[in-house]
Structure formats: C-alpha cells, structure tokens
Structure 1
C-alpha cells in the first residue's frame, strides 16, 4: 500500500462518513463493463463541484490492491452487481492528484518530474526485479511491469486539467504534461498495460 500506487481506501471512507452521502457506485458497474476495452479510457470533464474527485476516490477504493473494501461497499448499489467481487481490490492502481503535485512544486515545470519520480519510487519498491535503474519514465515502467507480471494497471488522475487551467502561459509545463499524458495513454503500447484510465 502506497501513497500513489495501490493506495488504501481512506479517501472514500471520508465520503461515507459524511452526513449526506449519495450512492454513485453505479459508475463502478459501468467501469467494470469497459475494463480492457477501447472504451476504458474515460475523461470526465464535468463542471466544478460535480463530484469528480469523489468518484475518483471511490474507484480507487474499489479497484486498489492496497485496500480491503468489501465491507465498505456492502450495502451500496454495486454490491448487488453480479461482478462486484470479481474486480474488487484486484488491480495495481495508480491514483494521482495533479493539483496536489502542483501545490507541492515551486515551479509548474517540475510537476511531471515530481509525479514520475514519486510513482516510480513506489513501483520500484513493489517490483524491484522489473525496473532496472535506467528506467526513468512511467510508461516504460508500466510496460515492463506488465511484461514481467502479466498484470495491467488502472490509472486514475484527479484534477487532470489543472496545469492546462492554472499554467496556461507556461508553455514548457504544458508541453511536458501533454507529452506525459500521450506517453501514458496514446498508441499501441499503452493498450498492453492499461486496464482502465479515469481522468
């Protein structure tokens, strides 16, 4: 269980602890239905205060190998689904919040390197035999791990568009970030290591 790789379910527990909780676990039935398909690349661009972060935390709690969430989801809509236990806490999952990374960088130009180094550090701890020291990019790491283990990844990126909004005049930060996203999700190789992407 890490901060970004295979996180626990504590962020979703906060939502469940709230006085007002609206069950949106029907989304999980949909994401289960598109796992490992061409529809498994989901970009949610709803307006602010729509519950996008809440949904990201819910998906992370459901899929992450770093959590034991059966009790948490029992009684919710998804627990009635025939595939509920089939996918529950079965996946290597990467959950990052770009807003958090930006807030912890002096310059927006450093966000991609900060994300990459943070996630690679955790992946190296979990899969040291799959990641030699020369691996320095996240797409290469995910490809090597999938090749070694056969396990695909679920990638959840919250506040995915914050650099586009908040660093609109920083061409280098924008170019680096778009290159990072393309490397993770575009082309043939990512289809080999991505089970689901939710931005």
Structure 2
C-alpha cells in the first residue's frame, strides 16, 4: 500500500470547518518510523495513552443500547446523536453513565474518538450522524472492548464449568447466554469463531483443552465433550443443539475417549446464533 494512503486511512478523518486535519501526533510518529524502516506498517500510537481510560469506563458501564451502538460504530456504521455543545468535564462522571446518553457521544466527539459525518435536519439544532474517524481510533475501541470482555468472561468461567460438570444445563446456558449478550458481535459469525470462544472459556480457568482431537469415527470440538454448531437463523437453535448432541453419539466420540482410558465423560451439543446459544 502507498504510504500516503496508509497514513490517511489510519490518522486522517478530522475536519476543522472545511479543513481536513490529521492526528498530528500519530502522523509524525508514523513518518519518524518510516524514516528508520521502509517496511514499517501503521499502528495505533494513540492506543496506550491515558486519555483512553474514560473510553474504557464507558464501555465497562455501558447500557445494552450503548453496546449495540458501539457495535454499529465498530462495524463502520454511523449513529445519529444529539450533541451537547456546552458539555463540561464535570458532567462526565462515570457514576451517572446510565443517564448520560448523548453526553457520552458528545465527549467522544470533542476528544477525537468520533467525527461528524453529516448534520441531521430535525427539531434539535445539534443532531449529527457520527462515525469512527479512522483505523487508529477503531483499533482503540476494539482493543478496549476485548480486554473488558475477557475480564467479564473470566469472572464467569468457573461457574460455567462447574455447571457443566454438575450437568446443570439450565445454569450453564444462562451463564453462556449472559457472556454472549455482553459481547459486541462485530466478528464474522462462523462456526470456528464459537469453537474458539468455547476453547477460551475453558482454558481461561486452567483446564486442559484438547480441541478437534480425533476420537471414535470423527472429530469432537472440545474434550469435555462439546460439539458447536453455528446457525443462520435463530428459529433452528433448539433443533440444531439436539443435532449436535446426536452427532456426539453417532460419531462415537465418547466411546473413543473411553478406549483412551477416560472414565467420566459428559457430552453437550451447543448451537449458536449471533449472541444467542442453546
């Protein structure tokens, strides 16, 4: 990629009136790196600065509606928001984040984490279509969210695994559903995504995971045993979880593990659709 185009995609995106502005700190750092390394690829120089702490707080304490709006932004979509031009820092106390609503987006706009794409004509004079300005800022959103989500998930790992061992299907499903609902689904919805998600869920609590190991006449997804299915419609969630369980029986996954010396084996079929599981 041409260096000028790469720099534009990563560090441009701001407007002062009609004047196009780059993030000067990041642009200068990018040029400095290129002078020492012709093959240097753009990174987020802004990612580890202290100003990201407030964005992190907003994601941690966000309502479900706000999480859905963050999902749109990370998916390169826009959101329509009323902006508060006279906003003060004191009004951004995160303890009142449940009632902040547009204040959050006003702050993110004023600090460069969002930009105005267009003005929206309605009864409110300060209503705008907002987007993430560039790849550097998008990386910040993704990185902060993933760190929060991994922390959120770890707090529920042991309870989920204990529910599986105790064969408490209802509790395990509630815990898994809770974690999925808290996620932002900007990832591609492929079966191997959920496979990796379940592997991480188990590994995070110190359990040994044998993923896609050959057993019986086929390959199981995770040795505890869990067979994951990804659906294109939520209507088939229950039916396909039953199919996943039947596959464990049909492919003789359990018999294969018994032959290897395992004595206590529990099999589960789990189907996924976006942020839903059963």
TM-score relative to the length of structure 1: 0.34
Structure label with greater radius of gyration: 2
Give TM-score scaled by structure 2 length: 0.26
